[in-house]
């Protein structure tokens, strides 16, 4: 089977396994576009899900009238490190090993992994989509690198993002965010892996070395030629804050764990770009889970809700 098309009906017709590879802020629209053409003999993988991607995709399909829901799952990060070079060329620099995967609801994870592993054999299961959603390294690295290089970005300076701009003090900020993220493990049923373990899993085989996220990124040969963006209107802010940091903030606030560094980072990013990233973020409230206790939330991501899944 080999077909490239922009016709969504044609693309989905007879597809058993569907990968949705778009920025988080487009997932909702893609769900609505797919809704008339998907059914319960299909499997949809959001890669990555970002926080709550599978939950929202599922909700949107139902809202759009799809009553034979496909199986839905997500990865915690993109499977490739790549860049579009021109309209017909992609430069794939790296391929992540041990990429975390979970279905929504999580009771489907093992069965879905069996379907996917012939294509992506190194995916590993995570407990549920809260874990994948909170295990994407992007927000923790991208947002500090953007914010603490504001003038370089606005001045469109050519600067190597990881090798040059990721200095020790930026690393201290990243470490503080990570400490707040790991505090969420105080919540019964959450067991987030340290980001260093996750990134080592992805990239150690390609040469990434170190004990901190700063070291792991600076030493990763596939990141050698990544330049800092030259605009603040970039997915490193527009995706990573409302679909990464704000959801984390909403969980920490809901469950009473520390979040002052996360909040400070979001607040100053809002001010710097004159954008309220809280407003349209995919946080617990937006997903309709704002009043759930931790136990209810965990039960929801593992079992689904009556009516939300067949």
Q: Which tokens is 304 given?
A: 């689904």
Give how many residues touch a second copy by CB under 8 A.
31
Q: Of the two residues 149 and 250, which places its CB atom closer to a second copy in the complex?
A: 149
The Cα 213–Cα 199 span in angstroms is 8
Cβ-based nearer residue to a second copy, 164 or 185: 164
Residue closer to a second copy (CB basis): 67 or 274: 274
Could you say which of 268, 288, 299, 303 contacts a second copy (CB under 8 A)? 268
Of the candidates 197, 53, 55, the one whose C-alpha atom is nearest the C-alpha of residue 137 is 197
Q: Which residues have C-beta within 8 Å of that of residue 233, sequence separation ≥ 6?
A: 273
Instruction: Give, as ranges, the residues between 164 and 183 that touch a second copy (CB under 8 A).
Output: 164-170, 172-173, 176
Contacting range for a second copy; rule: CB under 8 A; set: 96-104, 109-117, 163-171, 215-223: 163-171
- Six-digit token string for 221: 């040969």
DSSP string, 23-66: -GGGHHHHHHHHGGG--TT-EEEESS--TTHHHHHHHHHHHTT-
Scanning 24-32, 65-73, 82-90, 142-150 for contacts with a second copy by CB under 8 A, the matching segment is 142-150
Residue 21 or 179 with smaller CB distance to a second copy: 179
Cα distance between residue 289 and residue 294, in whole Å: 10
Q: Is 11 exposed, middle or buried (0-12, 13-18, 19+ CB in 10 A)?
A: middle
Other Cβ atoms closer than 10 A to 257: 18
- Tell me the chain's radius of gyration from C-alpha atoms: 19
**C-alpha to C-alpha distance for 203 and 102, rounded to whole angstroms:** 20
CB of 260 to a second copy, least distance (A): 6
Task: Determine if 272 is a binding residue for a second copy (CB under 8 A).
Answer: yes
Position among 67, 89, 233, 274 found at the interface with a second copy (CB under 8 A): 274
- Stretch 183-202 residues interacting with a second copy (CB under 8 A): none
Give all strands (DSSP E) within 33-189, no chain letters: 43-46, 71-75, 80-86, 89-95, 100-104, 124-125
Return the residue of 132, 149, 250, 257 that touches a second copy, per CB under 8 A: 149
Instruction: Output the six-digit token pair for 77.
Output: 């990060």
User: Applying CB under 8 A, which of residues 37, 148, 205, 227 lies at the interface with a second copy?
Assistant: 148
Q: Which is nearer to a second copy, 130 or 173 (CB)?
A: 173
**Nearest approach, Cβ of residue 229 and a second copy (Å):** 13
| Residue ranges in 206-225 that form contacts with a second copy under rule CB under 8 A | none
Residues 233-262 close enough to bind a second copy by CB under 8 A: 260-261
Interface residues with a second copy (CB under 8 A) are 147-152, 154-155, 159, 164-170, 172-173, 176, 232, 260-261, 263-265, 267-268, 271-274
């Amino acid at each position: 089977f080999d077909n490239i098309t922009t016709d969504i009906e044609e693309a989905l017709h007879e597809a058993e396994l569907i990968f949705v590879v778009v920025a988080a802020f487009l997932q909702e629209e893609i769900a609505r576009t797919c809704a008339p053409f998907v059914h319960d003999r299909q499997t949809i993988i959001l890669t990555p899900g970002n926080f709550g991607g599978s939950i929202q995709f599922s909700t949107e399909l139902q809202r759009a009238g799809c009553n034979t829901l496909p199986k839905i799952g997500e990865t915690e990060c993109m499977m490739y490190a790549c860049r579009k070079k021109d309209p017909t060329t992609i430069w794939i620099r790296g391929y992540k090993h041990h990429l975390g995967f979970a279905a929504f609801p999580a009771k489907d994870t093992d069965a879905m992994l069996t379907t996917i592993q012939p294509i992506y054999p190194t995916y590993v299961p995570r407990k549920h989509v809260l874990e994948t959603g909170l295990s994407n390294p992007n927000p923790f690295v991208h947002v500090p690198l953007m914010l603490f290089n504001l003038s370089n970005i606005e001045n469109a300076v050519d600067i190597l993002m990881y090798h040059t701009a990721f200095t020790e003090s930026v690393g201290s900020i990243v470490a503080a965010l990570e400490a707040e993220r790991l505090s969420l493990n105080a919540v019964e049923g959450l067991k987030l892996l340290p980001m260093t373990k996750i990134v080592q899993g992805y990239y150690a085989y390609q040469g990434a070395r170190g004990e901190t996220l700063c070291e792991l990124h600076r030493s990763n040969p596939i990141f050698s030629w990544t330049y800092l963006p030259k605009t603040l209107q970039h997915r490193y802010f527009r995706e990573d804050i409302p679909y990464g940091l704000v959801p984390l903030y909403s969980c920490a606030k809901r469950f009473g764990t520390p979040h002052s560094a996360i909040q400070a980072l979001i607040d100053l990013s809002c001010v710097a770009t004159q954008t309220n990233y809280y407003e349209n973020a995919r946080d617990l409230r937006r997903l309709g889970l704002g009043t759930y206790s931790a136990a209810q939330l965990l039960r929801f991501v593992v079992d689904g809700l009556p009516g939300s899944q067949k």
